[in-house]
Amino acid sequence: MKITEDGWFRADVPVRFRDIDAMGHAHHTLPLVYLEEARAAFWRELKGSASVDAIDYVMAEITLRFHARIRFPSDVTVGLAVRRVGTKSFTTDFEVRSASGELLSSGTTVQVAYDYTAERTKAIDPADRAILERWLTAGNSSFGSAG
Amino acid sequence: MKITEDGWFRADVPVRFRDIDAMGHAHHTLPLVYLEEARAAFWRELKGSASVDAIDYVMAEITLRFHARIRFPSDVTVGLAVRRVGTKSFTTDFEVRSASGELLSSGTTVQVAYDYTAERTKAIDPADRAILERWLTAGNSSFGSAG
Amino acid sequence: MKITEDGWFRADVPVRFRDIDAMGHAHHTLPLVYLEEARAAFWRELKGSASVDAIDYVMAEITLRFHARIRFPSDVTVGLAVRRVGTKSFTTDFEVRSASGELLSSGTTVQVAYDYTAERTKAIDPADRAILERWLTAGNSSFGSAG
Amino acid sequence: MKITEDGWFRADVPVRFRDIDAMGHAHHTLPLVYLEEARAAFWRELKGSASVDAIDYVMAEITLRFHARIRFPSDVTVGLAVRRVGTKSFTTDFEVRSASGELLSSGTTVQVAYDYTAERTKAIDPADRAILERWLTAGNSSFGSAG
């Protein structure tokens, strides 16, 4: 179980050469790609679901801050913590750190549950909500050890 | 000259098949790539500089909101407006619209001038500042018609 | 109609900043992305079909040669010509040229018709075959002018 | 040391969600990206050089065959073997396999040493040549165990 007592889920992601742009650092969209890998790892681990079909939300809003340039070759560690669980949407904070712990990027994303067939937002699935709410209270409770 | 009287610079960007992810829409990082194309077009047009070497700033912060899914094939129009010019940084608003004018994505980016040799932030180059300040006041002045 | 008398279909594709890698040129996968845009434009124009669902083949084999580095900013022109139409597969030659006509990349791709539901290869759809065969003989016939 | 007695260097690469295209499998350019990660790992391990500046060759020709679709989430293993070392260029075979050993993609790439300052091909650096030649004969010799 990778959720720590303070409620952060962490996953390591290797930086690829293709991530690096003409300025010699990872293109500024890459923290979001690293975050996506951590988010997928979270759902795989918590929900036990691995397939792309299981992803039934879309991005509503992203805030992304850049603290240091990301270089190749390296691994980054993405931390992910849930901050709010609403009826249709949930909010997560994230940070991307170097192997030595330096803060590289940080931010917040808001996801909204989405019915891809009807092409409209929907209420968060109860099973997903239960996972998110357990995660939300992980910092205060036994989530980490019970997971 | 593509800066309109209200201070928006606009550029069209074709969506690529490769932009589309497994969910059938442009991956959520793509609005930033479309925006980057518009920003590069802005500098080429205003500064007359085309080379990658001319780009001497880094991203400091991005806020990105998603209003509608972006599909393939299509062209999007990116609008870009400067909102603040500081000593070292400048702030721009952007919006991505479909060919029919539907708002697809919007947001704000903060760029900070960067010395790639010294690897630290720097004051905005005076020539760039002059361009940005003319653009900032474009909505109230003759910038659009004089450009 | 963009198929010339010698049987080449041509489409222009703008190079993006994000295409450029740490070595200062378009990453070596990008000619295939530019080619894909031309191929999609071909099907849109010839078949009148715009949707992703209409693409029912997979890549079987690619040969790709690099003649010159691709820079940003620039537009490239992708030429595409069909060389063989089999029962299940068809072979196309391609070339990527700069705006001034310099040959940048060239190669050959073999596509095989694919049933995404059954997850196996299939015979080329008769309507697609008719388009490909007309294109194949375009160099010798009135295809270009009749299109 | 990851070069086996038969002369193959192998590296694992995690597939990312962003690699998957609208057809539900890794876009057909991705085997080349996975290969690139293995090639970079090879140079890091054999040359002890980690920086992007150390990469002083360009792609000359690629042949790429597709055997099975690549899915998310999964790890792939890229195998890399040198087949020919010339004055200016060297040829490598590669294969991409699933975790269970299924062959997903295979092919051959030809790299040519390149002087990025003079912007022309050059002879392979002697130290790199020594590494490549030791690797070339690895299947017949003690390279694997001596590395």
Average pLDDT over residues C76-86: 96
- Nearest-neighbour CA in chain B from D15: distance (Å): 13
Shortest distance, CA C25 to any CA of chain A (angstroms): 8
How far apart, in whole angstroms, are the C-alpha atoms of residue D104 and residue C39? 24
| B24/A116 Cβ within 8 A | yes
Q: Which long-range contacts (CB under 8 A, 24 or more apart) does B124-128 make?
A: B124/B57, B124/B85, B124/B86, B124/B87, B124/B88, B124/B89, B124/B90, B125/B56, B127/B47, B128/B47
Interface of B with D (CB under 8 A): 17-18, 20-22, 24, 27, 29, 72
- pLDDT at residue B56 in the model: 85
Q: What is the pLDDT of residue B51?
A: 61
Neighbours of chain B (3+ CB pairs under 8 A): A, C, D
- Cα separation, B28 vs A112, in Å, equals 13
> CATH topology for D9-134?
Thiol Ester Dehydrase; Chain A (3.10.129)
Region C66-70: mean pLDDT is 97
User: How long a stretch of residues is chain D?
Assistant: 147
Contact C16 B24 (CB under 8 A): no
The answer to which of C8-22, C91-105, D19-33, D129-143 has the lowest mean pLDDT is D129-143
pLDDT score for D53: 57
pLDDT bracket for residue C76 (50, 70, 90): very high
Residue B53 scores a pLDDT above 70: no
Asked if CATH classification 3.40.50.1460 holds for the domain at A9-136, the reply, yes or no, is: no
Chain B CA closest to residue D72? B22
pLDDT confidence of residue A143: 45
Spans of all domains in chain C: 9-137
Which of B18, B22, B72 comes nearest D17 by C-beta?
Answer: B22
- Nearest C-alpha in A relative to D22: A52
Cβ-based interface (< 8 Å): residues of D facing C:
22-24, 28-29, 32-33, 52, 55, 58-66, 69, 116, 119
Contact A37 D17 (CB under 8 A): yes
Whether A16 sits inside 8 A of D33 (CB atoms) is yes
Q: So what's the pLDDT on residue D143?
A: 45
Residue D58 confidence class, pLDDT cut points 50, 70, 90: very high
Answer whether residue A147 shows pLDDT above 50: no
| d(CA D28, nearest CA chain B) in Å | 10
What's the whole-number mean pLDDT along residues D45-73?
Answer: 85
pLDDT at position C143 is: 45
Check whether D4 has a pLDDT greater than 50: yes
* pLDDT band with cut points at 50, 70 and 90 for residue C23: very high
Q: Which of B22-31, B61-70, B85-94, C129-138 has the lowest mean pLDDT?
A: C129-138
Which of B48, B38, B35 has the alpha carbon at shortest distance from B104?
B35
D49 — pLDDT class (breaks 50, 70, 90) = low
Higher pLDDT, B3 or C50: B3
Q: What is the pLDDT of residues A46-84, one digit of tens each?
A: 887 656 556 789 999 999 999 999 999 999 999 999 999
Q: What is the CATH number of domain C9-137?
A: 3.10.129.10
Q: Does C20 sit within 8 Å of A21, measured CB to CB? A: yes
Q: What is the pLDDT of residue D33?
A: 98
User: Can you tell me the ipTM of this complex?
Assistant: 0.91
Q: What is the pLDDT of residue A53?
A: 57
- The pLDDT assigned to B37 comes to 95
Using the structure block, give the residue that is written with the tokens 């490549």: D132
Does the pLDDT at position B143 exceed 70?
A: no
| CA neighbor of C17 nearest in space, from D59, D21, B38 | B38
Contact residues of B toward A, CB < 8 A: 22-24, 28-29, 32-33, 52, 55, 58-66, 69, 116, 119
Tell me, what's the pLDDT at B135? 87
pLDDT(C115) > 80:
yes
Q: From the list B28, B58, B62, which residue is nearest A59 (CB)?
A: B28
The per-residue pLDDT for A49 is 66
pLDDT value, residue C54: 60
D contact chains, 3+ CB pairs < 8 A: A, B, C
Task: Write out chain D in H/E/C secondary structure.
Answer: CCECCCCCEEEEEECCHHHECCCCCECCCHHHHHHHHHHHHHHHHHHCCCCHHHCCEEEEEEEEEECCCCCCCCEEEEEEEEEEECCCEEEEEEEEEECCCCEEEEEEEEEEEEECCCCEECCCCHHHHHHHHHHHCHHHCCHHHHC
| Mean confidence (pLDDT) of chain C | 89
Chain A CB contacts of B62 below 8 Å: 28, 62-64
Chain A residues in contact with C17 by the CB 8 A cut-off are 21-22
Quick one: average pLDDT of B79-91?
Answer: 96
Nearest to C50 among B24, B44, B73 (CB): B73
In chain C, residues with a C-beta closer than 8 Å to the C-beta of A18 are 21, 27, 29
Per-residue confidence (pLDDT) for residue B58, from 0 to 100: 93
Tell me C93's DSSP state: E
Q: Is the pLDDT of residue B64 over 70?
A: yes
> What are the residues of chain C with a beta carbon less than 8 Å away from any beta carbon of chain D?
22-24, 28-29, 32-33, 52, 55, 58-66, 69, 116, 119
Whether pLDDT at B141 is above 70: no
Going by pLDDT thresholds of 50, 70 and 90, the confidence category of residue C139 is low
The percent of residues in chain C predicted with pLDDT above 70, rounded, is 88
- Identify residues of C whose CB sits under 8 angstroms from chain A CBs: 17-18, 20-22, 24, 27, 29, 72
| Closest CB from B22, B55, B69 relative to A52 | B22
Asked whether the beta carbons of residue C21 and residue A21 sit closer than 8 angstroms, the reply is yes
Q: In this predicted structure, which of A33-42, B5-14, C138-147 has the lowest mean pLDDT?
A: C138-147
Q: What Cα–Cα distance (Å) separates residue C1 from each residue in C76, C91, D66?
A: 19, 21, 32
Tell me if residue C66 falls in helix, strand or coil.
strand
To the nearest whole Å, the CA of D82 is away from the closest chain B CA by 31
Helix A30-47 to helix A126-136 angle (10° resolution) is: 110
pLDDT-above-70 percentage for chain D = 88
Distance CA D137, CA D127 (A): 16
